[in-house]
Amino acid sequence: MSGMLDDQALLAGARRYEEQALAEIYDRYNLGLYRYCVRLLGDPDTAEDCVAETYSRLLRALRSGGGPNDYLRAYLYRVAHNWIVDYRRKGESEDRTLEFVTTDGTDKSPSEIVQGEIDRKDVRDALFQLTPDQRQVIVLKYFEGLSNEEVAAAVDKTIGAVKSLQNRGLASLKRLMTVQENTP
């Protein structure tokens, strides 16, 4: 929520193609977006592609007179999420996870590293069995720390609907987790 007015000022500057405003928009949110993307994609390179494409889409939206009016961060996460969903739909995901592994902690044994990656993949797989809105609500609230208002803007729902999505999503996740544990 904080910085919302600033975001409006930044967006006004961005619509005038002021480089300072555009750079600030990038600097302020690119790292959070990267973390979001890499969590859901599992691969740093693909996550960087997603970040780049997200900002590119923002530019195109601004150029055609569209783009967000206030919740800039929520808008960026929504665009990134759409990209990720498209990407996974094409079946290209999860094929470069070794890079993730090798950039992980250094003091773990190879088996620990591999097990960690398997665990992360399990969570991702479970998250992608939720509805897109449930998935966004849980990830944005749990990992990215967005406010209820921002999450609501990201999924274009009311705050009440966001809470409902969260409850149903967590219940589904719990069920999926149990199924995974019982699957050999």
Partner 1 sequence: MKNSSPDLDPELTAFLENLRDVPERNMERAARGREMFLTEARDSQLAVSPSLFHRLIGWIAISRSKEVTVMNWKLAPITLAVVIAVGITTLFGSAVATAYASQVSLPGEALYSVKTGLESAQLALSRDAAREVRLHLRFAQNRLEELAELIRLGQSDQLADVIAEFEFHMEAAIEGLDDVDPDEHEPLAAAVMQALSRYAQILTSLSSSAPELVREAIEEAIQASETRMGMHEVEFMGFVIEMGKDTWAIERALDGELVPVSITDETEIEEGIVEGDLVRVEALENYEGALIAVEIKFADENENENGNENENANENENENENGNENENANENENENENGNENENENASENENENENENENGNENENENGNENENGNENENENENGNENENENENENENENENENENENENENENENENENENENENENENENS
Binding footprint of partner 1 on the chain (CB under 8 A) = 14, 16-17, 19, 22-23, 26-27, 30-31, 34-35, 38-39, 44-45, 48, 51-52, 55-56, 59-60, 62-63, 99-100, 103-104, 116, 119-120, 122-124, 126, 138, 141-143, 145, 148, 166, 170, 173-174, 177
Cβ closer to partner 1: 78 or 126?
126
Q: In the numeric block, which tokens belong to residue 123?
A: 């969570």
Q: In the numeric block, which tokens belong to residue 152?
A: 């609501």
Distance CA 66, CA 6 (A): 18
Contact 26, 18 (CB under 8 A): no
Tell me how far CA of residue 139 lies from CA of 7, 40, 72, 178, in angstroms: 22, 9, 17, 19
Q: How far is the CB of 105 from partner 1 (least distance, A)?
A: 8
Q: What is the CA radius of gyration of the chain?
A: 18
Q: How far is the CB of 17 from partner 1 (least distance, A)?
A: 4
Q: How far is the CB of 8 from partner 1 (least distance, A)?
A: 18
